Amino acid sequence: MSRYLSPLLLVLLISACSSEDPCDEAPRCDESEALNCEVACTVGPCSTGAIFQQCDQGTTCTVVPGDRSDSRFYRSRAVCARSLNVCDPATAPAPTCEDGRFVVGCGAHRRDIRAFCSQAALYFKKVPTCCLNGGGDGGVADGGTDGGTTDGGSTDGGTADAGNSDAGPRNPDAGR
Protein backbone atom coordinates (compact mmCIF):
# COMPACT_ATOMS: atom_id res chain seq x y z
CA MET A 1 0.00 0.00 0.00
CA SER A 2 2.82 2.43 0.86
CA ARG A 3 4.46 1.90 -2.53
CA TYR A 4 1.33 3.38 -4.17
CA LEU A 5 1.01 6.16 -1.63
CA SER A 6 4.41 7.75 -2.37
CA PRO A 7 3.83 8.28 -6.13
CA LEU A 8 0.31 9.51 -5.42
CA LEU A 9 1.62 12.08 -2.93
CA LEU A 10 4.26 13.20 -5.42
CA VAL A 11 1.63 13.77 -8.12
CA LEU A 12 -0.58 15.70 -5.71
CA LEU A 13 2.35 17.83 -4.57
CA ILE A 14 3.39 18.69 -8.14
CA SER A 15 -0.15 19.55 -9.20
CA ALA A 16 -0.64 21.73 -6.11
CA CYS A 17 2.52 23.70 -6.90
CA SER A 18 1.80 24.36 -10.56
CA SER A 19 1.12 27.99 -11.26
CA GLU A 20 -1.90 28.87 -13.35
CA ASP A 21 -1.56 31.97 -15.48
CA PRO A 22 -4.80 33.99 -15.29
CA CYS A 23 -3.91 35.61 -18.62
CA ASP A 24 -4.62 32.29 -20.35
CA GLU A 25 -8.33 32.82 -19.70
CA ALA A 26 -8.65 36.60 -20.19
CA PRO A 27 -10.89 38.41 -20.86
CA ARG A 28 -13.41 36.90 -18.50
CA CYS A 29 -15.87 37.65 -15.73
CA ASP A 30 -15.76 35.71 -12.48
CA GLU A 31 -19.01 36.65 -10.80
CA SER A 32 -18.44 40.37 -10.13
CA GLU A 33 -14.74 40.52 -11.04
CA ALA A 34 -13.41 41.49 -14.47
CA LEU A 35 -10.11 40.02 -15.68
CA ASN A 36 -8.12 41.45 -18.57
CA CYS A 37 -4.49 40.89 -19.48
CA GLU A 38 -2.07 43.23 -21.16
CA VAL A 39 1.26 42.00 -22.47
CA ALA A 40 2.29 45.47 -23.66
CA CYS A 41 0.89 49.00 -23.69
CA THR A 42 1.40 51.20 -26.72
CA VAL A 43 -0.71 54.08 -25.38
CA GLY A 44 -0.50 55.13 -21.73
CA PRO A 45 -1.61 55.23 -19.07
CA CYS A 46 -1.92 51.48 -18.64
CA SER A 47 -0.22 48.67 -16.76
CA THR A 48 0.84 45.28 -18.05
CA GLY A 49 -0.01 41.83 -16.76
CA ALA A 50 -3.24 40.46 -15.33
CA ILE A 51 -5.63 43.25 -14.33
CA PHE A 52 -8.43 42.36 -11.92
CA GLN A 53 -11.23 44.84 -11.25
CA GLN A 54 -14.05 44.29 -8.79
CA CYS A 55 -17.31 45.37 -10.43
CA ASP A 56 -19.04 47.27 -7.65
CA GLN A 57 -20.74 50.65 -7.33
CA GLY A 58 -23.73 49.34 -9.30
CA THR A 59 -21.69 47.94 -12.19
CA THR A 60 -22.00 44.52 -13.83
CA CYS A 61 -19.15 42.52 -15.30
CA THR A 62 -19.64 41.69 -18.96
CA VAL A 63 -17.33 40.77 -21.84
CA VAL A 64 -17.72 43.09 -24.82
CA PRO A 65 -16.35 42.52 -28.31
CA GLY A 66 -13.65 44.69 -29.77
CA ASP A 67 -13.84 46.55 -33.06
CA ARG A 68 -11.78 44.49 -35.52
CA SER A 69 -11.36 47.52 -37.77
CA ASP A 70 -9.79 49.64 -34.99
CA SER A 71 -6.06 49.16 -34.39
CA ARG A 72 -6.34 50.41 -30.80
CA PHE A 73 -9.64 48.91 -29.56
CA TYR A 74 -9.71 45.63 -31.50
CA ARG A 75 -9.50 43.36 -28.43
CA SER A 76 -12.52 42.08 -26.55
CA ARG A 77 -12.59 43.24 -22.92
CA ALA A 78 -14.17 42.29 -19.63
CA VAL A 79 -15.67 45.56 -18.40
CA CYS A 80 -17.53 46.82 -15.36
CA ALA A 81 -20.59 48.18 -17.16
CA ARG A 82 -22.83 50.79 -15.56
CA SER A 83 -25.38 49.86 -18.22
CA LEU A 84 -25.52 46.87 -20.57
CA ASN A 85 -27.12 49.03 -23.28
CA VAL A 86 -25.01 50.00 -26.28
CA CYS A 87 -23.86 53.64 -26.32
CA ASP A 88 -22.14 55.77 -28.96
CA PRO A 89 -18.88 57.33 -27.75
CA ALA A 90 -19.02 59.92 -30.55
CA THR A 91 -22.26 61.44 -29.23
CA ALA A 92 -21.95 60.61 -25.51
CA PRO A 93 -20.58 63.10 -22.98
CA ALA A 94 -16.83 62.98 -22.44
CA PRO A 95 -15.63 60.48 -19.81
CA THR A 96 -15.09 61.88 -16.32
CA CYS A 97 -13.06 60.95 -13.27
CA GLU A 98 -14.59 59.47 -10.16
CA ASP A 99 -12.84 59.37 -6.77
CA GLY A 100 -9.47 60.21 -8.36
CA ARG A 101 -8.90 56.55 -9.29
CA PHE A 102 -11.65 55.71 -11.75
CA VAL A 103 -12.95 57.00 -15.05
CA VAL A 104 -16.59 56.59 -16.10
CA GLY A 105 -18.38 57.10 -19.39
CA CYS A 106 -19.15 55.62 -22.77
CA GLY A 107 -16.04 53.72 -23.83
CA ALA A 108 -14.73 52.71 -27.23
CA HIS A 109 -16.33 49.27 -26.76
CA ARG A 110 -19.74 51.01 -26.84
CA ARG A 111 -20.71 50.48 -23.21
CA ASP A 112 -21.08 52.93 -20.31
CA ILE A 113 -18.30 51.66 -18.04
CA ARG A 114 -16.26 52.31 -14.91
CA ALA A 115 -12.51 51.57 -15.25
CA PHE A 116 -9.28 52.32 -13.42
CA CYS A 117 -7.61 55.58 -14.45
CA SER A 118 -4.44 53.53 -14.97
CA GLN A 119 -6.28 51.58 -17.69
CA ALA A 120 -8.25 54.46 -19.22
CA ALA A 121 -6.43 54.46 -22.57
CA LEU A 122 -7.51 50.85 -23.13
CA TYR A 123 -11.19 51.81 -22.96
CA PHE A 124 -11.55 55.47 -23.95
CA LYS A 125 -10.44 57.39 -27.04
CA LYS A 126 -10.03 60.53 -24.92
CA VAL A 127 -8.53 60.00 -21.48
CA PRO A 128 -9.68 62.61 -18.92
CA THR A 129 -6.96 65.04 -17.84
CA CYS A 130 -7.44 64.02 -14.21
CA CYS A 131 -6.19 60.53 -15.12
CA LEU A 132 -3.22 61.91 -17.05
CA ASN A 133 -2.11 64.41 -14.42
CA GLY A 134 -1.18 61.97 -11.70
CA GLY A 135 -4.68 60.94 -10.66
CA GLY A 136 -3.12 58.89 -7.88
CA ASP A 137 -2.48 55.87 -10.06
CA GLY A 138 0.58 56.45 -12.20
CA GLY A 139 -0.95 58.81 -14.72
CA VAL A 140 1.33 60.74 -17.03
CA ALA A 141 1.73 64.48 -16.52
CA ASP A 142 2.23 65.50 -20.16
CA GLY A 143 -0.91 67.61 -20.37
CA GLY A 144 -2.40 65.53 -23.19
CA THR A 145 -5.98 64.38 -23.19
CA ASP A 146 -5.89 61.51 -25.64
CA GLY A 147 -3.76 58.96 -23.86
CA GLY A 148 -0.43 60.35 -24.95
CA THR A 149 -0.66 61.32 -28.58
CA THR A 150 -0.64 65.11 -28.14
CA ASP A 151 2.96 65.22 -26.95
CA GLY A 152 4.45 65.27 -30.43
CA GLY A 153 3.23 61.93 -31.68
CA SER A 154 4.54 59.79 -28.86
CA THR A 155 2.56 56.61 -28.37
CA ASP A 156 3.95 55.63 -24.99
CA GLY A 157 1.94 58.10 -22.94
CA GLY A 158 4.51 60.89 -22.91
CA THR A 159 7.99 61.18 -21.53
CA ALA A 160 7.27 61.63 -17.82
CA ASP A 161 7.83 57.90 -17.38
CA ALA A 162 11.12 57.79 -19.34
CA GLY A 163 9.33 55.96 -22.13
CA ASN A 164 8.31 52.94 -20.07
CA SER A 165 5.47 51.15 -21.80
CA ASP A 166 3.47 50.85 -18.57
CA ALA A 167 3.27 54.63 -18.03
CA GLY A 168 4.96 54.59 -14.68
CA PRO A 169 5.10 52.59 -11.48
CA ARG A 170 2.62 49.82 -10.66
CA ASN A 171 -0.25 50.97 -8.58
CA PRO A 172 -2.49 49.32 -6.05
CA ASP A 173 -5.49 49.66 -8.37
CA ALA A 174 -3.88 47.87 -11.30
CA GLY A 175 -4.65 44.40 -10.10
CA ARG A 176 -4.51 42.28 -7.00
Tens of pLDDT, residue by residue over 33-63, are 999 998 887 777 788 899 999 999 999 999 9
Summarised one tens digit per residue, pLDDT across range 82-136 is: 999 999 999 999 999 998 899 999 999 999 999 999 999 999 999 999 888 754 4
User: Length of the chain, please?
Assistant: 176
CB proximity list for 60: less than 8 A, separation 6 or greater: 32, 80, 81, 84
Q: Running DSSP on this structure, what letter comes out for residue 76?
A: -
φ/ψ (deg, to 5) at 27: -80, 145
Calculate the alpha carbon distances from 85 to 64, 70, 71 in Å.
11, 21, 24
Bond prior to 27 in cis (omega within 30° of 0): yes
Q: Is 23 exposed, middle or buried (0-12, 13-18, 19+ CB in 10 A)?
A: middle
Distance CA 151, CA 64 (A): 30
Q: What is the pLDDT of residues 6-34, one digit of tens each?
A: 454 444 444 444 458 889 989 999 989 99
With CA atoms as reference, report the closest residue to 62 among 43, 82, 81.
Answer: 81
pTM: 0.66
